[in-house]
Amino acid sequence: MTEDTKVKYEKPIPLKTIDNAPYWDAADRHELALQKCNTCEGYNHPPGPSCANCGSTDVVWENLGNDIRGTVYTYVISYRPFLPGFQNDVPLVIAVVALDDSPDVKIMGNVLHGNKDNITVGTPVKMVWEDITEDRALPQWELL
Ligand SMILES: [Zn+2]
């Protein structure tokens, strides 16, 4: 595939930082990794240099694999493309999803391929990974 035939990805690509790189590296492999606190044993998401719950810096990464289920905690439907690249995606469902196995962890993403009229608070979804470049992927959601 030559440079000319690639579809250019125009949307923002999340930056990897020292705090979040394991999260995005796992996403690139189509897996979910979460930061976990060794002191209070809770997940710390979004990740940071220390636990948002107890302040401990004794945090590690746990791989949760690729079978991730959740329920819609809240959502909005965007009818206007506020950034370049989204003009063909509207209306776009942007959801905050609580993980079934750990409801305190909420992960934002788009609900892809679904009828927006079928989405409400409590709708069950599963995580999918959208390949956006040759080496990057975004965690997203699909209706179960
Ligand atoms: Zn903690």
- Give me the CATH number covering residue 120: 2.40.50
* Mean pLDDT on 17-24: 97
- The answer as to whether 50 is a domain residue is yes
Ranges of beta strands (E only) in 2-132 are 32-37, 43-44, 59-65, 69-78, 92-99, 102-112, 124-131
Is the per-residue pLDDT at 108 higher than 60? Answer: yes
- The answer as to whether 43 is a domain residue is yes
Instruction: Give the structural domain span for 135.
Output: 67-144
Which residues are within 8 A (CB) of 25 and not within 5 positions of it... i.e. 6 or more apart?
16, 33
* 85 shares its domain with 115: yes
| Secondary structure letter of residue 66 according to DSSP | S
* 71 shares its domain with 136: yes
* Spacing, Cα 87 to ligand 1 middle (Å): 40
* 71 shares its domain with 126: yes
* 127 shares its domain with 82: yes
Smallest CA-to-CA distance from 68 within 103, 38, 118 is with 103
* 130 shares its domain with 94: yes
* Mean pLDDT on 40-51: 97
Q: What is the pLDDT of residue 82?
A: 86
DSSP element (H, E) containing 22 = helix 21-28
Q: From CA 64, how far away is CA 61, in angstroms rounded?
A: 10
- The answer as to whether 1 is a domain residue is no
* Spacing, Cα 50 to ligand 1 middle (Å): 8
Under a CB-based contact definition with an 8 Å cutoff, are residues 143 and 111 in contact? yes
* 99 shares its domain with 141: yes
- The answer as to whether 71 is a domain residue is yes
Smallest CA-to-CA distance from 64 within 36, 32, 29 is with 32
* Spacing, Cα 24 to ligand 1 middle (Å): 21
Q: From CA 54, how far away is CA 37, in angstroms rounded?
A: 9
In this prediction, residue 7 has a pLDDT band, given cuts at 50, 70 and 90, of: low
pTM here is: 0.90
* 94 shares its domain with 28: no
Is the per-residue pLDDT at 6 higher than 70? Answer: no
Is the per-residue pLDDT at 125 higher than 70? Answer: yes
8 versus 102: the higher-pLDDT residue is 102
Q: What is the pLDDT of residue 1?
A: 47
Helix (H, G, I), strand (E, B) or coil at 26: helix
* 91 shares its domain with 117: yes
Of 26, 43, 66, the residue that ends a domain is 66
Q: pLDDT tens digits, residue range 50-82?
A: 999 999 999 999 999 999 999 999 999 999 998
Phi, psi (degrees; rounded to nearest 5) at 25:
-60, -40
* Spacing, Cα 43 to ligand 1 middle (Å): 8
82 versus 47: the higher-pLDDT residue is 47
